Amino acid sequence: MGAITRLASAWRRGREYRRTLGWRAFLERLLQVWLWVPRLVTSKTPTVSTIRPGTTASVQEFTDFGKDLRLDTQFELFDLTRRRLIRMESKLDRLLADQAPAIQRPSDSHLRSSNPLPWPTEIQPITKITILCRSLGRRCGIADYAVTLAQKLAATAVPTIEEVAPDTEVLLIQYEPSFYDGQEDVLTEIKAANPETIVVLESHTTPSNIPEDARWHAIIATKRSFYPGAVRLSLCLPALSESGAEQPRELRLGSFGFALPAKRYELIVDLAKRLDVPAMILAAHNNANPVIERLSASYLKQLKKLQDHNVQIIDDFMPLDEVIKRLRTCSHIVSFMEDNGEQSASLRTMALAGRPLIALRSRQAEEVGAILVDEIGAITRDFLESCRDLPVVYDGIEDYKAFLHSMAVVRSLKDQIQHDDGVYTRDPRQLERLDWLKARATGRTLDVGVGNGFSTNYIRAEVGAEIRPDRLHYASLRYPHIDFVLLDARIKVLPGFETVVLGEIIEHMSFIEAREMLAKWAQANPKRILITTPNTGKPNYDPELVHNIEHVWYPTEDALRRITPSGYEMNITTSSGEDFLLVELTKVSATSP
């Protein structure tokens, strides 16, 4: 039964090749394969002795060769046929690679290896880091944070994209909506960075204010709130000098932050007056931009009207060391700021004072380990005297170190995956191909064969599938907003997608495998399947696009039409220079005639 099964399989596969090549070319190839197999017992061989592998045998020569075979039994004839079919079946998959006689393969030294290199063992750290903050040099908490971050990462802080060094490896943009003239301004700044630079949009605002398209151009980082595909970069703590100051015995309240209505310092003033305890509020004027500057000045003017001999409002802008030094003169730190769901740099700074921190219940207060109250009326003198627990704050610099290490892995894998962004960015023909895919990849989209992930991100696919683990690992780190899965698309399909993209994929497998793979994906019922492949039918085609050691066959328009799966209709066009075949398979409606 095994031999019969193989015979039937070889016949089916041979029929497909015959349809693709035509009878004459198919028969010539079949004769070559047959004559390559070592002969068994022969009585004479003069007729076939001149036939060599790689040459074309005539039908008469093949007939003479068959007559010259002297076999003792039918079993030997059957066994010879079986063994020849086994070898024939393994060779048939490679026949289509030779169907274009004009193709001359370059030497192996010019071909990329199809085998992954060993995984990198030594990972060099990222050293060229730039922090971009538009409010740098102003009285602004984010500007202060940018300076602190630059110090801790040994990075450079700049206020404009023009000042970012071209050799920057990682660019951390400190994003706050009030710094920009709309979302397009943000995207323009991101796109102005060197294409080789990994850009991170580090959001200091709520996710609803993050430009929707930003994730396709930069890695999104948030401080606390969830954002799909974002990495977590918690606020890092400033490096402060140690102080042995003891907690005052007398009750004294303290608070810190820029003078803005969301801080609600007036509630602290009311508390201090109700408890008859002194209070010191460090509320510096914020001039991050003209709008905030006016708002801060107006609020500060109202706040100063509330101060008396017991309540001190200080609007001086001072270094963090000085802020901590003054807060340590207080017995308790209090905060009644609004809950915006984000980490608060001012709350983290207050937590560093080493005093009990009491706050209205909020997510940012909970994050720093404050003593939480549900209403201000619950705070009494006895309550304050009973508070002894000190806040414990996580230093987000560990998040940055972990992230930068992952980017170092990305850089170290570039040689390993043998597929860098320049394949696309330096070749307008490739970008034209990707633009064609992007324009047609509507609805939930799956990109099969992600390479390094650049094309998956470019066409805005939600999911990418890849057969090589090293390329999958690279893409997952480089494009965290995309879901990547390890998948052999010839064996398994993923349902639930409106568009399935097979860009530069089918030439990496045999004709039969490509046909069977498309039939499998058609069963998943996507509305469209998009295919691109080098156009070997173009006269004087570019060998750089066609000659690749990973390419198994050279698709033509006629061959592509023969792999159209049932239930789909195929439309084939070419790119403007005819370098690529652009194929759109559209699901045929059940009601279509």
- What is the token pair recorded at 197? 């630079």
Start-to-end CA span in the chain (Å): 43
Question: Is residue 12 within 8 Å of residue 67, measured between CB atoms?
Answer: no
User: What pairs with residue 486 in β-bridges?
Assistant: 466
This prediction's pTM? 0.74
The pLDDT of residue 243 is 57
The pLDDT of residue 414 is 86
The pLDDT of residue 278 is 96
The pLDDT of residue 51 is 31
Q: Which CATH superfamily is domain 418-587 in?
A: Vaccinia Virus protein VP39 (3.40.50.150)
Task: Give the Cα separation of 235 and 204 in Å (integer).
Answer: 10
CA 153, 156, 159, 162 dihedral sign is negative
Torsions phi, psi of 202, nearest 5?
Answer: -95, 105
The pLDDT of residue 46 is 32
Q: Which CATH superfamily is domain 253-386 in?
A: Glycogen Phosphorylase B; (3.40.50.2000)
Task: Give the Cα separation of 34 and 312 in Å (integer).
Answer: 99
Q: Determine the CATH number of domain 129-232.
A: 3.40.50
CA 335, 338, 340, 346 dihedral sign is negative
Fold equal for 129-232 and 253-386: yes
DSSP per-residue codes, 338-370: ---SS--HHHHHHHTT-S-EEEES-HHHHHTTP
The pLDDT of residue 242 is 61
Question: Is residue 361 within 8 Å of residue 373, measured between CB atoms?
Answer: yes
CA 362, 365, 368, 371 dihedral sign is negative
Other Cβ atoms within 10 Å of 137 Cβ, number: 12
Q: Helices H, strands E: what count in the chain? A: 21, 19
Single out the residue of 468, 541, 456 nearest to residue 502, CA to CA.
456
pLDDT profile of the chain (593 residues), mean per 10: 52 53 50 41 34 35 37 43 49 45 34 49 90 93 92 96 97 94 94 95 87 94 84 86 71 94 95 95 90 93 91 90 92 92 85 93 90 95 93 91 95 85 91 97 97 96 94 94 95 96 93 94 96 91 85 88 94 95 90 50
Sorted by where each begins, the domain ranges of the chain are: 2-92, 129-232, 253-386, 418-587
